[in-house]
């Protein structure tokens, strides 16, 4: 699929990215799913539509905090936006001890990305205040944990820019938690990516989707936590846990377990459940032909002066 004015193409883990006139991106969200930086063998129906629509909602709801890359969302699974010079780090922010942070903590370590973790915490406990645990943004292979000090020392991001994206990250997370709380959810952790055009910092990629975030239900959280019970969650974490239970963490020599029809449907249902829970809207399944994608995107591109 080639759009008018296309000058480049890249197929990522879960999205296809078309460059237009070297300064605009057409991002097509696929139904591919990845975990532990590995693309799993079967797509998840409607996953791309879910991710793109949730991201569009939250990007629009945070424009007052930071400008973002989006110009138009012409189709449920397609976003058109500005091409930015990407900052080579992902800003991971955590309100609770879960996921990678919990696995690190459970192993006995008490330091993550230069941040000291308090003693005596249980899985899913709240931190006293959200912590930022950045990672490198790898083009291939695994992203790696990195500290604020190392980012600046290595010149990956200037000290001034890093301080600004730290401030923006905290503000975005606070907004995301507030919006989620209105829907009965706790935004546990998430990650943000940033880029620049000239001296201006832009929020890029997606935000607050089940691929980049973890949510748990607020109702019953305290009781489950007090009783040592598992929290009811809405995120991709259950996919990671399923893979771990089947002895797969993306390490060399490990085989991706078979994804049954039932499991694929379960994952799709979870994505749709999160869309409906976070937006308060019913999910409308839409399938769009390649011809219609080409038509709608090309019509949208004509609205912008490149």
Structure token pair of residue 193: 């990516």
Instruction: For domain 85-232, give the CATH number.
Output: 3.30.470.20
- Cα 113 to Cα 117, 168, 208, 250, 258: the distances in Å are 10, 19, 22, 21, 34
The full set of domain ranges for the chain reads: 6-84+240-301, 85-232
Per-residue pLDDT of the chain (306 residues; tens, 9 = 90+): 899 999 999 998 899 999 999 999 999 999 999 988 899 999 999 999 999 999 999 999 999 999 999 999 999 999 999 999 999 999 999 999 999 999 999 999 999 999 999 999 999 999 999 999 999 976 555 579 999 999 999 999 999 999 999 999 999 999 999 999 999 999 999 999 999 999 999 999 999 998 899 999 999 999 999 999 999 887 787 898 899 999 999 898 999 999 999 999 999 998 998 899 999 999 999 999 999 999 999 999 999 876
Superfamily of domain 6-84+240-301 in the CATH hierarchy: Phosphorylase Kinase; domain 1 (3.30.200.20)
Residue 193 pairs with which residues in a beta bridge? 90, 204
Contact 58, 154 (CB under 8 A): no
Residue keyed to tokens 């938690």: 177
Q: Identify the CA nearest to 220 among candidates 233, 206, 205.
A: 233
Q: Is the pTM of this model over 0.85?
A: yes
């Amino acid at each position: 699929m080639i759009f008018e004015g296309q000058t480049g193409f890249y197929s990522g883990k879960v999205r296809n990215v078309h460059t237009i006139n070297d300064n605009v991106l057409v991002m097509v969200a696929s139904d591919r799913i990845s975990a532990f930086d590995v693309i799993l063998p079967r797509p998840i129906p409607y996953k791309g539509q879910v991710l793109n629509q949730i991201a569009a909602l939250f990007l629009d709801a945070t424009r007052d905090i930071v400008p973002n890359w989006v110009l138009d969302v012409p189709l449920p699974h397609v976003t058109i936006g500005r091409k930015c010079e990407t900052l080579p780090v992902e800003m991971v922010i955590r309100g609770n001890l879960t996921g990678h942070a919990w696995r690190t903590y459970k192993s006995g370590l008490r330091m993550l990305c230069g941040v000291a973790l308090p003693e005596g915490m249980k899985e899913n406990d709240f931190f006293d205040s959200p912590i930022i645990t950045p990672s490198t943004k790898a083009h291939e292979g695994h992203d790696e944990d990195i500290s604020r000090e190392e980012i600046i020392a290595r010149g990956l991001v200037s000290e001034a820019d890093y301080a600004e994206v730290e401030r923006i990250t905290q503000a975005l997370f606070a907004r995301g938690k507030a919006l989620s709380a209105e829907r009965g959810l706790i935004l546990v952790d998430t990650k943000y990516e940033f880029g620049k055009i000239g001296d201006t910092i832009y929020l890029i990629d997606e935000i607050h989707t089940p691929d980049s975030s973890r949510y748990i239900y607020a109702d019953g959280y305290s009781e489950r936590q007090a009783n040592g019970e598992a929290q009811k969650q809405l995120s991709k974490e259950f996919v990671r846990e399923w893979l771990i239970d089947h002895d797969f963490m993306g390490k060399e020599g490990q085989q991706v377990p078979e994804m049954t029809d039932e499991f694929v449907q379960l994952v799709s249902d979870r994505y749709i459940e999160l869309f409906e829970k976070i937006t308060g809207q019913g999910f409308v399944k839409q399938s769009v032909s390649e011809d219609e994608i080409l038509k709608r995107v090309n019509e949208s591109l004509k609205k912008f002066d490149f």
